[in-house]
Homo-oligomer: A and B are copies of this chain.
Amino acid sequence: MTHEFRNVSAGNEANEFDVTPWSVTGSVNYDNLIEKFGTQRITADLLKKLASMTGEIHPLLEFDFFFSHRDFDWILDRYQKGENFYLYTGRGPSGKVHLGHLMPWMFTKYLQDKFDAPLLFQLTDDEKFLHGHNKTMAEISAFTDENILDIIAIGFKPEKTKIIVDTKHIKHLYPMALEIAKRITFSTARAVFGFTNSTNIGMIGFPPIQAVPCFLPSLIENKPTPVLIPAAMDQDPYWRITRDVAEKIGYYKPAQIHSKFLPSLETSGKMSSSKPKTAVFTTDDSETVEDKVSVAFTGGQPTVALQRKLGGNPDICPVFSYLQYMFDNPKESKERALKCRSGNLLCGECKQDLSSNSVSFLTDFQKRREKAKDMVSQFMYKE
């Protein structure tokens, strides 16, 4: 399917944006992204079907944060026919975990709870070391250990969840990675990931490692086993090449459900832990959270008077987004947007809401994160 293999850049058009697994630049048009990547929009019918099976729709679906998919309908069909699926998601441990990271993980927990699905959670420490030049493997390993506590604190089922750390579990990943690697040419990898002559050969050889957990469930269950990947849309290039290989080695293509990128508190781009000042980390104390939120970018007017007169724009407001995706229910969020647009809500009030909600959430989360320290071995994949 050549269509799936073209480069993901939008080129030099106006409103250009570029999405790769390593960076998101420009203002992303998600409709265009669906068309470019060749994925499907999550339709009202699909949500209706999901609701009929689960009893409730997660707010991140209602708010269109998870907006795109491949074969999610197929996963539900198979499930209805009695075939269970695995969940697979991951994290590149290049820094601390921030609030934005938690959202797809909480959504993954929702899927695990509703479908009683086993989950493989991969930490790509190798890739984070290979990409960029600024971190040693020791630094990446320290982040990996910290990130594992965040994952466990989400509340995944210990008996159904296994965490894979690439360098630690490479023995179990490598044989299948070879099978995959053998079936991907440099041409294909270059087109999908945008590799250049100056890309290091570790990065070029890496994608099969991230593909392996799509097929591990089939090895574990000793039969072709469906896998559903909830993850941000920027990871899609990996699944495109994996889907192409799947058929060649006799397994199901991994299904995906794609999220948008969370805006940073500073700009309207993707919230990034590599720019520490723009992110609220899970380990931040209350004062730090309040400080960070207080200086956040908003969709409001420069002055109170103008805000009262003209109203704000929640569509480009990261404070609004965080409140919507993490703390408001649909009714509250609708009201907040209306009040903002009509000038009846000041940015300071929204910031106060986000700040107090975040502090309250993190107080609880940090307790669970502390308890997670005793649960690590229980969650790790066999060595």
Give the B-binding residues of A (Cβ under 8 A).
126, 129-130, 133, 137, 167-168, 170-171, 174-175, 177-179, 181-187, 189-190, 195-202, 204-208
- Known contacts A167-B174, A174-B170; decide if A182 and B126 are in contact (CB<8 Å): no
Q: Are B186 and A197 in contact (CB under 8 A)?
A: yes
A175 / chain B contacts, CB cutoff of 8 Å: 137, 167
Taking A126-B178, A130-B182, A168-B171 as known contacts, 12 extra A-B pairs with beta carbons closer than 8 A to each other, sorted by chain A number, are A167-B175, A167-B178, A170-B174, A183-B200, A186-B198, A186-B200, A187-B197, A201-B204, A201-B205, A201-B208, A202-B208, A205-B206
Q: Are B179 and A200 in contact (CB under 8 A)?
A: no
A200 / chain B contacts, CB cutoff of 8 Å: 181-186
Please report the C-alpha to C-alpha distance between residue A253 and residue B129 in the assembled complex, in whole angstroms: 23
Please report the C-alpha to C-alpha distance between residue A362 and residue B190 in the assembled complex, in whole angstroms: 49
Q: Are A198 and B174 in contact (CB under 8 A)?
A: no
A133 / chain B contacts, CB cutoff of 8 Å: 182
Please report the C-alpha to C-alpha distance between residue A130 and residue B181 in the assembled complex, in whole angstroms: 8
Residue picked from A137, A181, A199, A205, most chain B C-beta under 10 Å: A205
Q: Are B178 and A187 in contact (CB under 8 A)?
A: no
Please report the C-alpha to C-alpha distance between residue A207 and residue B201 in the assembled complex, in whole angstroms: 9
Residue pairs across A and B with Cβ atoms less than 8 A apart, 24 shown, are: A126-B178, A129-B182, A130-B178, A130-B181, A130-B182, A137-B175, A167-B178, A170-B171, A170-B174, A178-B202, A181-B202, A181-B205, A182-B202, A185-B198, A185-B199, A186-B196, A186-B198, A187-B198, A189-B201, A201-B205, A202-B205, A204-B204, A204-B205, A205-B206
A183 / chain B contacts, CB cutoff of 8 Å: 200
A202 / chain B contacts, CB cutoff of 8 Å: 177-178, 181-182, 184, 205, 208
Please report the C-alpha to C-alpha distance between residue A171 and residue B383 in the assembled complex, in whole angstroms: 10
Q: How far is the CB of A291 from chain B (nearest CB, A)?
A: 36
- Known contacts A195-B186, A196-B186; decide if A201 and B181 are in contact (CB<8 Å): yes
Specify the chain B residue showing the minimal Cβ separation from A207. Answer: B201
Contact of A204 among B126, B168, B179, B186 (CB under 8 A): B186
Please report the C-alpha to C-alpha distance between residue A123 and residue B202 in the assembled complex, in whole angstroms: 21
Q: Are B179 and A137 in contact (CB under 8 A)?
A: yes
Please report the C-alpha to C-alpha distance between residue A179 and residue B199 in the assembled complex, in whole angstroms: 14
Specify the chain B residue showing the minimal Cβ separation from A383. Answer: B171
Specify the chain B residue showing the minimal Cβ separation from A198. Answer: B185
A201 / chain B contacts, CB cutoff of 8 Å: 181, 184-186, 189, 204-205, 207-208
Specify the chain B residue showing the minimal Cβ separation from A187. Answer: B197
Residue picked from A126, A185, A186, A195, most chain B C-beta under 10 Å: A186
Specify the chain B residue showing the minimal Cβ separation from A132. Answer: B182
Q: How far is the CB of A221 from chain B (nearest CB, A)?
A: 20
Q: How far is the CB of A174 from chain B (nearest CB, A)?
A: 5
Please report the C-alpha to C-alpha distance between residue A168 and residue B204 in the assembled complex, in whole angstroms: 23
A130 / chain B contacts, CB cutoff of 8 Å: 178, 181-182
Name the 4 nearest CB pairs between A and B, nearest first. Answer: A205-B205, A181-B202, A187-B197, A170-B174
Q: How far is the CB of A212 from chain B (nearest CB, A)?
A: 13
Q: How far is the CB of A158 from chain B (nearest CB, A)?
A: 25
Please report the C-alpha to C-alpha distance between residue A39 and residue B155 in the assembled complex, in whole angstroms: 60
Q: How far is the CB of A152 from chain B (nearest CB, A)?
A: 23
Please report the C-alpha to C-alpha distance between residue A187 and residue B195 in the assembled complex, in whole angstroms: 11
Please report the C-alpha to C-alpha distance between residue A167 and residue B182 in the assembled complex, in whole angstroms: 15
Q: How far is the CB of A318 from chain B (nearest CB, A)?
A: 34
A178 / chain B contacts, CB cutoff of 8 Å: 126, 129-130, 137, 167, 202
Specify the chain B residue showing the minimal Cβ separation from A185. Answer: B198
